Structure 1
């Protein structure tokens, strides 16, 4: 009997000690958890979160330098993303969750309004043969409702990935009062060339003003049909909007027609060699250190690029500023 009592007392005592230890650990964990909060899938300390809130920095980008804040004020960018009812929640949602958050204004343009997403529905037909109509009406919509909200107006697809900081850096030496637009330059089909639709192209405020003023004239700008980027290129040329060589000072490309791997290894289709103004180069030496866009980026790779660009670091490596806006000669 005495052994049973002794065992029972020992068991109860052990349980009590275990409960005390567990409670202390839980208290410690609770204190640790209370020090952190989760923002957009990233874990930050509450001190960091408070600093982000007080500085006005976007939560997905903890460090926004004074120069970056100044660039945002100087080069306000409206991004409009061409999408459709079928791809809105398959592709566009991943654009919304990643790079589009860094635009000053972002619009998702479709043929059907979706107030929840949200997406702007225009009176257009879907299909590649109607992309010109969707683009023309999208720019008309933007001019009527958002002309004063931005200085530059970028069109992108729902499988385009854009690095807004690099775009703003490129634009800081440009004037939005000039009739210009930028993108990945193709040398065929239009006298001054034109820019790839998938890589994204950026209209200045003056370019958009001219498009709104005379773009509805079918003698100046085709209203539907053809290839969207080619037709916009012809339209811009007739409006006196100039294309510009937007390679960096080392002659490397900023806007990209394909995903990064294709430009690294040069697995291009035959047509690209005929169209590309920069000679369809490949490899790391052909891509600017400040790239602006990549096309044909699948949803999963949107998040991979997001991680590589905004989260991955190499200890001990300090990357200095490079002046790459000097025109390449």
Structure 2
């Protein structure tokens, strides 16, 4: 009797196992087996396996950037609208900082009169507004002017290795009286989520850390950030070429010698006449009619036989690597810039 019961139990176990095995082969053949699961897991864990276009689309949600563009009422139609129609549409969130509200454009009245001497108060209020309304909703916060063109895909690609909870910001670094320098406002600068948080919680409400004066907007924000422990990072590429351009692109090409002020004020000495990175992020002093030109050249023009961009993302820095990098940047000194053109 016991033998019969034992045989029955063993038969049931073998039958169940054979059924599972049969179902497994059915799933594999239909495309829902191990191959499909591996692909899904790989895409979630290692986006390097995606195509270049898929990586770009994935980065849109992985590295979220809010763009705040400084403008003025007389530029709403001539410049700001072109920003919105071209590179601005690739931001995760786009707002315009102005002295006049414009619902169609998306411009917000900061209540600060226009004028160069008011740029610093204007950006202070803009930073406070963005932090209050969006401070925890995005990873990075880009400030640009309405005559700046930004290649958002290259910006996200560059930012991807860095933790937005690290206290750092990037742009084109200029030298000044405080050691780590500051980022050019015209070229655009981008703050991490923690940098924006520190600026608002500890700097903007403390005149010792962030004094009220008529200094230039970009230098003063750099001073405020430095006083609350935000590190000014190095955004150059592996060959020492600049990604954020504080001047018009034509003025930084080898055939057009740069104006005398730029080599003397930039934080890092140019390594050669070729100062523009192949993975450039921004260009300043873009004329109204040039926005569509940039849009065409960057996003529509195809060149037969020319190799594409890199096919994988850079690896994220772990906590120790990021700490070492930030310590290095915070201790970095300016290099002597000589006019080499």
The within-5 A match list for 1:1-329 is 65-214=53-202, 215-264=204-253, 265-280=255-270, 283=273, 285-321=274-310
1:64 positional shift: 7.6
What is the RMSD computed on CA atoms of the aligned residues?
A: 2.2
Query: Are the equivalent residues in 1 in contact too, given 2:240–2:271 (CA < 8 A)?
Result: no
The answer as to whether partners of 2:120 and 2:217 remain within 8 angstroms in 1 is yes
CA distance in 2, matches of 1:258, 1:84: 20
TM-score, with normalisation over the residues of structure 2? 0.73
Deviation at 1:133, TM superposition (A): 0.5
Quickly say closer, same or farther: Cα 1:101–1:196, change in 2 above 3 A: same
Deviation string, structure 1 residues 255-274 (Cα, Å, up to 9, x no partner): 00112111103433322122
Q: Secondary structure at the match of 2:96?
A: strand
Query: Which structure ranks higher in relative contact order (CA pairs < 8 Å, sequence separation ≥ 6)?
Result: 2
- Does the residue aligned with 2:237 lie in a helix, a strand or coil? coil
Q: Taking structure 1 as reference, are residues 266 and 216 closer, same or farther at Cα in structure 2, changes over 3 Å only?
A: farther
- Superposed CA offset, 1:41-66 (max 9, x none): xxxxxxxxxxxxxxxxxxxxxx9822
For the 8 Å contact 1:263–1:282, the answer to whether it is kept is: no
Q: Which residue of 1 aligns with 2:17?
A: none
User: Are the aligned partners of 1:130 and 1:224 in contact in 2 as well (CA < 8 Å)?
Assistant: no
Relative distance call for 1:210 and 1:182 in structure 2 (3 A) is same
Give the stretch that moved more between structures: 195-204 or 214-223. Answer: 214-223
Distance 1:224 1:94 in 2: 32
Shift of 1:222: 2.6
Counterpart CA distance in 2 for 1:250 and 1:130 is 37
Change (3 A) 1:118 1:224: farther
SS in 1 for 2:225: helix
1:230/1:322 Cα in 2 relative to 1: closer, same or farther (>3 Å)? farther
Q: Which runs of 5+ in 2 are unaligned?
A: 1-50, 316-324, 333-341
Q: Is the 8 A contact 2:73 2:100 kept in 1?
A: yes
Unaligned runs of 5+ in 1: 1-62
Counterpart Cα distance in 2 of 1:77 and 1:159: 19
Deviation of the 1:317 alpha carbon: 2.7
Which 10-residue stretch deviates more, 116-125 or 166-175? 116-125
* Count of residue pairs the alignment pairs up: 266
Residues 68 and 97 of structure 2 are in contact (CA less than 8 Å); yes or no, is this contact kept in structure 1? yes
